[in-house]
Amino acid sequence: MNTKLVKSAAMALVLSGGLTTFARADDAATQGGTIVVTYQDDMATLDPAIGYDWQNWSMINSLFSRLVDYKFGTTEIVPSLADSWTISPDGLVYTFKLSPKAKFTSGRNVTAADVKYSIERSVNPKTQGPAGGFFHSIVGQDKMADGSATTISGIETPDDSTVKFTLTQPDATFLNVLALNFASAVPKEAVEAEGADFGKKPVGSGAFKLDEWAPGQRLVFSRNVDYFRDRPYLDGFKVEIGQEPLVAILRLQKGEVDIAGDGIPPAKYLEIKNSPDAKDLIVDREQFETSYITINTTKKPLDDVRVRKAINMAINKDRIVRIINGRATPASQVLPPLMPGYDKAYKGYPYDVEGAKKLMDEAGLKGGFETTLYAMNTDPNPRIAQAIQQDLAAIGVKAEIKALAQPETIAAGGNKDQAALTWSGGMGWIADFPDPSDFYGPILGCGGAIAGGWNWSWFCDKSFEDRGTKADAMSKPEQKDERFKVWSQIFTDIQSQQAPWAPVFNERRVVAKSKRMGGSDAVYIDPTRVIDYEAIYIKK
Amino acid sequence: MKRALAEIARQPATCVAVLLIAAVVFAAIAAPWLAPFSPDAQPFDGLSLEGAPLPPGYKYWLGTDTLGRDLLSRLLYGARTSLVIGLVANGIAVMIGMIVGVVAGYMSGFVGNALMRFTDLMMAFPALLLAIVLAALLRPSLWIVALVIALVNWVQVARIIYTETRGLVERDFILAERSLGAGHKRILFRHIAPHLLPSAIVWGTLGVATTVLLEATLSFLGVGVQPPQPSWGNIIYESQSYFQAAPWLVFIPGAIILATALSFNLIGDALRDLLDPTQRGRG
Amino acid sequence: MAALLARRVIQAVAVLLGVAVITFVLLHYLPADPAALVAGRSANAQMIANVRHQLGLDLPLPLQFWRYLTGLVRGDLGRSYIQRSEVTTLVVARIPATLILMACGILVEVALGLTLGVIAAVRRNGVVDRTVMMFAFVGVSSPQFVVALLLLYVFAAHLGWFPMSGFGTPAHVVLPALTLGLLGAGWYARMVRSAMIDVLNQDYVRTARAKGLSRARIVLRHALPNALLPIVAMIGIDIGQFMGGVVVVEAVYGWPGIGQLAWQAIQEVDVPIIMGVTLVSSLAIVLANLLADLIAPLLDPRIRVH
């Protein structure tokens, strides 16, 4: 126990020191200035217990703080609200010591009680947030989630600056979970004062605070001068709403906009990529994402593994990547290349139309069959769906396309009798945290194979479930690599044996920023935060 | 009558309009033979090496779209879609409108009143919003879109037919027939209907312009005919953000929609001058 | 007059009630499940059921509608599942923008329509008349979204005379108002033209001309007021058209009004917002019709109100 404490403390010191060094690494960084960010859709909410879309994720992240966080642009865990922590040898008890300097923008210090309250709030069904399931390893979470308890027994606060978590089983991803926005500290009195409007008038302890929100028009953030960690560079940022992505880019080129939040629409991409300013304007990076076709394993004839393998072989991934102007790389497996656990040796199914036809023949479906393909209706997904349709037609599968709004597509996928094939584009799985288990549970695990769930292939195999649980129990740091190897094998086996998915490509994220914006690529496409408002700056 | 027709024939605009409609109808019918490529084919050389659509050129006369499909072929097949919907939707709208209008106008009292109140109710709906909701609800296919447009457009026809029917019902010769003991069916079919025919024709024609535009707008918003089945509106829908990078994809279909709607409007207007010279310029 | 007003108001309320019922029934059959959306990706069946209960979605339909209706009377349009806001707040925040756009659109319509109609009537059957009328026809036959994209392309993107999107200065409203008003301008031009021609053919006008009164005076004093009548009568239908056009125009120009709100809501299948916007639009249409019906007899005592 003692050695652990010293080691962690030392690590924490090194890391926080490292944090400072990282932040000041680039001399061209200027302190101050405000920037303009644009989005088309209005923010739904800034409540950390509820907000779960890629638009508000970074903003919530900058408004609040959590026990632990990630070093900017990386997936390394570093202290935030907590100065240090210890983990018991059996991996079941985590004890955190809070920083005495952490304060809410309302003035008062962040205490252990705040942390406990905030996490319980996220799990509480009355909050109507999506966060409950993430905290499943804490003792007592299940009782809180179904409403039979009003607190989580596994979270204790022995004193104002100590928080102790007891888990039901060792969980290698627990620190990652505590770094999620859902674990952000919120002040109880502010939440109770605002009630359901807390999402519109958030109060947190993060690097920024919200000054103004004019619905449908703009949000204005300014620097939190009392922030207890390294101060952000920017004095503030203004978010303008209702901007068409195309218009946002045109304005960005003129210098009126600094970050185009919705990215570069396909129509402008080639023009900007080939322009002389390209390297100043575009940040192009891989992310933890895979776009895939889910194959409903419960619908005939998709329940025949040969048919699923044939579908995998019929897709011309290179052509699809060309249709999206090369903004992705063809995918061979479930996990994206950056994710630990990615199997470099596994090449997936090759593009082989003849081989696919042979498999269809073997399955007795030489004449083909009719089926449905669901997709989201925002560009470029309907186009990709049509390309997939063409590819499938070549092996005799006549797919009728149903391009719907996102909520309806999600509902169709989550309905066992509805969607047969679903293209995940626009809803492609992006890791909540950088761990392979996140690519299993909700989308390939039995727990996700429920009405309204995200396991649209309805794949549920007990043997894989067991292997996954065993892997997650390997929570000691020295078991890390071995654990990743186990996960790697699980995913490879799932695809090569059962093929419930046809992975198509790993989309790179492309962000457009104006010439005056500085900071490494990693902070514009942060794997966990999307945009690191705390780390970006205006160049001199 | 002959003189009136000659008058109209002398107006160049109307003649052009008739020719254009004839061309569109021909294109719609003969699409499979006229189209140089299949509208669904996504040839590899249809896109540039970087994946951009091709401008009008030697092989693809009007250029290609964002999937590499030939624009000309898609426009020809699109004529079918837009025209079928325009005619079917309008036909249904006129039919419903006439039935409701005649019944309401003929049967005064509770039934007549109730029908007109219902018509008022439908008029209070913002047509486009209603169409969007219906289309989203009913999962758009060609016939569903036609039905939706009809459901939203019959109201105008009903109102006009109602007013006309009421006007007719009070005319002397109808009263005379009634006193002679003529049955309702006889009066309706032999005396009222023929007088309503001109209006039906005029509004039927003008209505096609409205339905073509409405179908294009619904497709543009994504709730009309779904790709890959081409319609003039959904070609623009798929390419709207390319209006700078590939303007031919937006403005060529746009011009065709405009020309078609314009032609129907011109012809309808001319028909109105022909059949009822007292009503000029639309009320 | 008071009796008339009372009857009209009652009719208006009945119509709005009908609209509410129809929209409510329609929207409840949309396939997306709001409870699953709110509960999020990692929810299990139990959590989704809990959320459904929280949102009151497991109550019988008539009861849900009754709750909605009683809320309406209090000015509460419900709460959006997805945007986590009161619908009323969202709508009220955006209405001023749409009102501004509509007012400018009407201005464009009437100004353009009147001017063109008068010119055409005064110089009827000449080249000017035919050109103006052709322009009117084109205005009426243009798909609004194409006009919007065209104006955006030419005047904003290419020439840079106007800002491309957004809200704030008078310059921002020019292109959207123009797009919106072009359609109506065509209608009005033709109506004004025929109304004026009718008047100009009247005997008393001929007499006035014979007496030597200037053309301009005749046009302004006598013909014009007559031409205004059909415009007023059309306002009700016009607002209806505008409510539809506003969705397209606000979407293309990024104008922060209720049209844009409606479009976003339809994309996300956000039932309460769609219902709220439809109701507000219907209210506007009904009010506009009411106003038009009441003003019309003032303009022309020949019109009898039935």
Residue by residue, DSSP assigns chain B as -HHHHHHHHH-HHHHHHHHHHHHHHHHHHHHHHH-SS-TT---GGGB-TTSPBPPS-SSSTT-B-TTS-BHHHHHHHHHHHHHHHHHHHHHHHHHHHHHHHHHHHHSTTHHHHHHHHHHHHHHHS-HHHHHHHHHHHH---HHHHHHHHHHHHHHHHHHHHHHHHHHHHTSHHHHHHHHTT--HHHIIIIIIHHHHHHHHHHHHHHHHHHHHHHHHHHHHTT-SSPTTS--HHHHHHHHGGGTTT-THHHHHHHHHHHHHHHHHHHHHHHHHHHH-TT--S--
Q: Say yes or no to pLDDT of A13 above 50.
A: no
Alpha-carbon span C266 to C26, nearest angstrom? 13
Query: Could you say which residues from 404 to 433 on chain A have a Cβ atom under 8 Å away from some Cβ of chain B?
Result: 405
- pLDDT band of residue A25 (cuts 50, 70, 90) is very low
Q: What is the mean pLDDT of residues B15-36?
A: 90
Alpha-carbon span A67 to A175, nearest angstrom? 9
Q: Is A13 on the interface with B (CB under 8 A)?
A: no
- pLDDT band of residue C298 (cuts 50, 70, 90) is low
Scanning every residue of chain A, which has its alpha carbon at the shortest distance from the alpha carbon of C92? A215
Scanning every residue of chain C, which has its alpha carbon at the shortest distance from the alpha carbon of B137? C30
Mean of per-residue pLDDT scores for chain A: 84
Q: Where are the beta strands (DSSP E) in A490-533?
A: 501-513, 517-518
What number of residues does chain C have? 306
> Cβ contact (<8 Å) for B42 and A324?
no
**Matching residue, tokens 């025919």:** B197
Q: Say yes or no to pLDDT of C15 above 90.
A: no
Scanning every residue of chain B, which has its alpha carbon at the shortest distance from the alpha carbon of C283? B124
CA distance B280 to chain C (A): 6
Select the residue of A267, A326, A387 nearest B241 (Cβ to Cβ).
Answer: A267
Q: Is C146 on the interface with B (CB under 8 A)?
A: yes
**Which of A264, A270, A409, A423 should one mutate to test binding to chain B, selecting the residue with the greatest count of B CBs within 10 A?**
A270
- Chain B residues with CB under 8 Å of A323 CB are 47, 51, 66-67
Alpha-carbon span B217 to B148, nearest angstrom? 13
- pLDDT band of residue A64 (cuts 50, 70, 90) is very high
> Cβ contact (<8 Å) for C254 and A217?
no
> Cβ contact (<8 Å) for C19 and B124?
yes
Burial-class residue B57 by CB neighbours within 10 Å (0-12, 13-18, 19+).
Answer: exposed
Q: Say yes or no to pLDDT of A17 above 70.
A: no
Interface of B with A (CB under 8 A): 40, 42, 44, 47, 50-52, 66-67, 136, 139, 222, 226-228, 238, 241-246
Give the pLDDT confidence score for residue A350 in this predicted structure: 92
User: Which token pair is A235?
Assistant: 């004095």
- The more confidently predicted of residues C171 and B186 is C171
CA angle B66, B67, B73 (to 5 degrees): 95
Provide φ and ψ at A293, rounded to 5°.
-105, 125
Q: Say yes or no to pLDDT of C292 above 90.
A: no
Select the residue of C79, C85, C165 nearest A247 (Cβ to Cβ).
Answer: C165
The pTM of this model reads 0.78
> Cβ contact (<8 Å) for B241 and A265?
yes
Nearest CA to B283 out of B269, B267, B263 is that of B269
A-to-C residue pairs, Cβ atoms closer than 8 angstroms = 136
What number of residues does chain A have? 540
> Cβ contact (<8 Å) for B133 and C23?
yes
Among the listed ranges A123-132, A333-342, B80-89, C88-97, which one has the minimum average pLDDT value? A123-132
- Residue B6 CB neighbour total at 10 angstroms: 9
pLDDT tens-digit series, residues B130-149: 777 777 666 667 888 888 88
Give the pLDDT confidence score for residue A23 in this predicted structure: 38
Select the residue of A267, A322, A390 nearest B47 (Cβ to Cβ).
Answer: A322
- Chains near B with 3+ CB pairs less than 8 A apart are A, C
Alpha-carbon span A458 to A375, nearest angstrom? 17
CA distance B126 to chain C (A): 5
Contact A184, A66 (CB under 8 A): yes
> Cβ contact (<8 Å) for A128 and C46?
no
Torsion angle defined by CA atoms of residues C195, C201, C203 and C205, in that order, rounded to the nearest 10 degrees: 80
Q: Say yes or no to pLDDT of B276 above 70.
A: no
Alpha-carbon span A439 to A488, nearest angstrom? 11
Among the listed ranges A68-77, A172-181, C88-97, which one has the minimum average pLDDT value? A68-77
Percent of all residues in chain B with a pLDDT value above 90, rounded to a whole number:
18
Q: Say yes or no to pLDDT of A2 above 50.
A: no
Give the pLDDT confidence score for residue A356 in this predicted structure: 92
Select the residue of A326, A380, A386 nearest B228 (Cβ to Cβ).
Answer: A386
Select the residue of C15, C29, C140 nearest B120 (Cβ to Cβ).
Answer: C15
Identity of residue B9: A
> Cβ contact (<8 Å) for A130 and C82?
no
Q: Is A263 on the interface with B (CB under 8 A)?
A: no
Residues near B129 by beta carbon (within 8 Å), at least 6 away in sequence:
C243, C244, C247, C262, C274, C277, C278, C281
**Matching residue, tokens 């090369």:** A326
User: Which token pair is A262?
Assistant: 């919705």
Q: Are strands A397-404 and A369-376 parallel, antiparallel or unpaired?
A: parallel
Contact A260, A511 (CB under 8 A): yes
CA-based torsion, A92, A97, A99, A103: positive or negative: positive
Alpha-carbon span A179 to A175, nearest angstrom? 6
Q: Is C266 on the interface with A (CB under 8 A)?
A: yes
Provide φ and ψ at A234, rounded to 5°.
-70, 150
Alpha-carbon span A164 to A148, nearest angstrom? 22
Scanning every residue of chain A, which has its alpha carbon at the shortest distance from the alpha carbon of B47? A323
pLDDT tens-digit series, residues A146-162: 778 888 888 999 998 99
Identity of residue B258: L
Nearest CA to B254 out of C148, A419, A411, A109 is that of C148
Scanning every residue of chain A, which has its alpha carbon at the shortest distance from the alpha carbon of C271? A407
Give the pLDDT confidence score for residue C161 in this predicted structure: 82
Mean of per-residue pLDDT scores for chain C: 78
